Amino acid sequence: MNTYFDNLETMTRTERASYQNSKIAEMARLGFERSPRIKKIFAERGLTPSDIQSLQDLHKLPVINREQLVELEMSDPPFGGLCDPDASIERIFTSPGPVYEPHLGSDDPLWARAYKAAGFGKGDIALNAFSYHMVAAGLTFHGGLNKVGSTVVPSGASTTQQQVQLIKDLKVTGYTGTPSFLMAIIEKACELGYDFAKDFRVKKASFAAEPLQPSLRQRFENEFGIDTYQMYGATEVGDVAYECTEKKGWHICEETIVEIVDPSTGGQVNPGELGEVVVTRLNSIFFLFRFGTGDLSSLIEEACPCGRTSYRLS
């Protein structure tokens, strides 16, 4: 499994472009065949699947933001006509709106790249403090940890005192959740008389869902000996990018196409320029092309010393 991830992550830029363009073309063909909404979008713009063959062609399609996705799903529940009606869907998640999201299946290496880059693997006991109720977070992060060989403690929204007990009794070595909640757990452990750095085995943490402030990262790493990493994604499209050991930008996952666009026009900006992060997740079930996250970033094209060859988000 790890070899599989490495092979994709170290492709040459030419190989990656060829690989991703073929996936884009296939998704366009399948979406046109299986999604009523995509067929309608194509017809409105005078497009056929042959017009969408590469990343450069995606600008021909509209950017769909979260508010528009909610409207589509309300008018045509549950998935706005974007999902293959005959697809075998393992589970359906929800997020406020509501937005309904079909789980893309256990074959998708969702979040596994991020956890591998953060050093999670066989022998780790990972505390997963993301919610397991209705939303995608708990189960999808759980799956990513499983894919890299870690044992997962599904602690979810348990109290900080319960989390401390689990970390102590189960000899937890890694944490995934929000940075603020990890700090709350550490503070509770101190209240209970523990020295977190000496009495516990947590040595790595991978965060999502809120920013990791530099001052907090410094405390985790210098005071408590916890190596910290950040993951970036959205419930509508899954994992998008992640930090490696260099911690100088976020590597874009091989299963996602990221465009940086002018928010006012939807057109792709030049490399290095700031713009909105627009994501297309390559898959054969849910044909959500060009999801507008509302987040701003730019692309880093320089090679990373870690050996991964993907572009990074700044």
End-to-end CA distance of the chain: 28
The mean pLDDT of 26-31, rounded to a whole number, is: 98
Say what the pLDDT of residue 1 is. 37
Q: What is the pLDDT of residues 134-191, one digit of tens each?
A: 888 999 999 999 999 999 999 998 999 999 999 999 999 999 999 999 999 999 999 9
Sign, CA torsion 114/1/24/35:
negative
pLDDT of res. 3:
41
pLDDT the model gives residue 6: 65
Rounded distance, CA 145 to CA 126, Å?
A: 8
Please give the share of the chain, as a percent, with pLDDT higher than 90.
Answer: 88
> What is the pLDDT at residue 271?
84
Contacts by 266-272, CB closer than 8 A, 24 or more apart:
266/59, 266/62, 266/63, 266/290, 267/59, 268/56, 268/59, 271/298, 271/299, 271/301, 272/298, 272/299, 272/300, 272/301
Q: Which two tokens stand for residue 73?
A: 């799903």
The pLDDT value given to residue 65: 95
- Provide the pairing of β-strand 204-207 with 174-177: parallel
Residue located via tokens 């996705």: 69
What average pLDDT does the segment 310-314 reach?
95
- pLDDT tier, 2 (very low <50, low <70, confident <90, very high otherwise): very low
Angle at 187 between CA 186 and CA 188, to 5 degrees: 90
Name the residue with higher pLDDT: 160 or 95: 160
C-alpha torsion sign, points 192, 193, 197, 199: negative
Q: What is the pLDDT of residues 117-133, one digit of tens each?
A: 999 999 999 999 999 98
Q: Are 93 and 235 in contact (CB under 8 A)?
A: yes
Q: Give 107's DSSP letter.
A: T
pLDDT tens column, 203-262: 999 999 999 999 999 999 999 999 999 999 998 999 999 999 999 999 999 999 999 999
Tell me which residue of 2, 31, 10 sits closest to 280, measured CA to CA. 31
Share the mean pLDDT of the chain.
Answer: 94
